[in-house]
């Protein structure tokens, strides 16, 4: 093969820089997908470990005033009473293909601290509006078993009176006009009540899976390898073309042999 010229080398180096940048991006995206998979696997593990564990008093937790992933789905007990007059409905919560709302009611413990309890699902009216009537809990003293959930992000915008866009503690406190001390960054999904009243449709145990993160991560690695291979293949083909080296396909070779016999 002829010796590569300086202009060729500069052009190939430009291609190489492009391939290196592309490969680095692929590695970054692959690591991101591996991280997403690790988060999903961790969430599945916490669900399996915590969901059916023995409940403990909410105020006995190591970090009761802030969300900690180790407590996700962990059952806790609350003794006190609901504040049904401060209940709110969470918008846009479909269930099994039907539109509806979630009911969130503040629960005041004997210590005076308030926790937000999501009691279940209620179907919307025929026009997708909030139902005019829905079950509310008793204000009598009772014990509730519920599971810890991380609060949802706050969404901007206005919503109808008596509703909120997400289960966000600060937004709930603002909308329900609660002035007492409230457990921050968490809400609780009700599992059972010692004095059940106005029951709604409970939400079942979630079915978590790790998704396609592993396959996506491997695909990004494959893209990086393919880019490197394509670069060297292109350089080799260019040098072969410069040298006049042309590989004859078998079909063309057979045709030339037959033409030679006939002639």
Residue 189 lies in a domain: yes
pTM above threshold 0.85: no
247/186 same-domain check: no
* pLDDT(65) > 80: no
Residue 49 lies in a domain: no
pLDDT band at 257 (very low <50, low <70, confident <90, very high): very low
183/244 same-domain check: no
Range of the domain at 86: 54-193
pLDDT band at 261 (very low <50, low <70, confident <90, very high): very low
Higher pLDDT, 219 or 68: 219
Residue at token pair 């009598």:
140
Mean pLDDT of 81-97: 93
Residue 262 lies in a domain: no
CA–CA gap between residue 208 and residue 37 (Å, rounded): 12
126/32 same-domain check: no
Mean pLDDT of 144-158: 91
Residue 48 lies in a domain: no
Residue 184 lies in a domain: yes
CA–CA gap between residue 41 and residue 222 (Å, rounded): 23
12/104 same-domain check: no
70/159 same-domain check: yes
63/188 same-domain check: yes
Structure tokens that stand for 206 in this block: 């979630």
pLDDT band at 142 (very low <50, low <70, confident <90, very high): very high
CA–CA gap between residue 168 and residue 156 (Å, rounded): 12
Residue 198 lies in a domain: no
Mean pLDDT of 230-255: 70
Residue 47 lies in a domain: no
Residue 151 lies in a domain: yes
177/97 same-domain check: yes
Give the chain as a 3 state SS string.
CCCCCHHHHHHHHHHHHHHHHHHHHHHHHHHHHHHHHHHHHHHHHHHHHHCCCCCEEHHHCCCCCCCCHHHCCCEEEEEEEECHHHCEEECCCCECCECEEEEEEEEEECCCCEEEEEEEEEECCCCCCCCCCCCCCCCCCEEEEEEEEECCCCCCCCCCCCEECCCCHHHHHHHHCCCCCECCCEEEEEEEECCCCCCCECCCCCCCCCCCHHHHHHHHHHHHHHHHHHHHHHHHHHHHHHHCCCCCCHHHHHHHHHHHHHC
93-136 pLDDT, tens per residue? Answer: 999 889 999 999 999 999 888 999 999 999 998 778 888 888 99
Q: What is the mean pLDDT of the chain?
A: 85
21/75 same-domain check: no
10/137 same-domain check: no
97/177 same-domain check: yes
91/158 same-domain check: yes
Mean pLDDT of 235-247: 73
148/172 same-domain check: yes
pLDDT band at 250 (very low <50, low <70, confident <90, very high): low
| Count of the separate structural domains present in the chain | 2
* pLDDT(146) > 90: yes
């Amino acid at each position: 093969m002829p010796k590569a010229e300086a202009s060729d080398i500069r052009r190939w180096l430009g291609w190489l820089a492009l391939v290196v940048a592309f490969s680095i991006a692929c590695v970054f995206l692959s690591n991101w997908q591996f991280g997403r998979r690790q988060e999903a696997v961790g969430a599945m593990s916490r669900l399996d470990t915590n969901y059916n564990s023995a409940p403990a008093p909410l105020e006995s937790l190591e970090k009761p005033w802030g969300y900690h992933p180790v407590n996700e789905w962990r059952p806790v007990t609350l003794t006190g009473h609901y504040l049904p007059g401060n209940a709110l409905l969470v918008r846009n919560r479909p269930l099994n293909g039907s539109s509806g709302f979630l009911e969130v009611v503040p629960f005041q413990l004997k210590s005076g601290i308030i926790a937000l309890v999501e009691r279940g699902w209620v179907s919307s009216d025929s026009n997708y509006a909030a139902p005019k009537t829905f079950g509310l809990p008793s204000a009598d003293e009772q014990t509730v078993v519920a599971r810890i959930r991380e609060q949802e992000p706050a969404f901007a915008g206005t919503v109808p009176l008596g509703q909120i866009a997400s289960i966000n503690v600060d937004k709930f406190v603002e909308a329900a006009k609660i002035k007492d001390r409230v457990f921050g960054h968490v809400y609780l999904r009700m599992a059972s009540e010692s004095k059940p009243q106005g029951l709604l449709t409970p939400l079942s145990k979630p079915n978590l899976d790790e998704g396609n993160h592993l396959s996506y991560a491997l695909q990004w690695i494959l893209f990086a390898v393919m880019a490197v291979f394509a670069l060297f293949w292109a350089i080799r083909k260019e040098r072969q073309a410069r040298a006049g080296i042309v590989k004859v396909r078998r079909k063309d070779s057979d045709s030339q042999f037959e033409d030679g016999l006939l002639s």
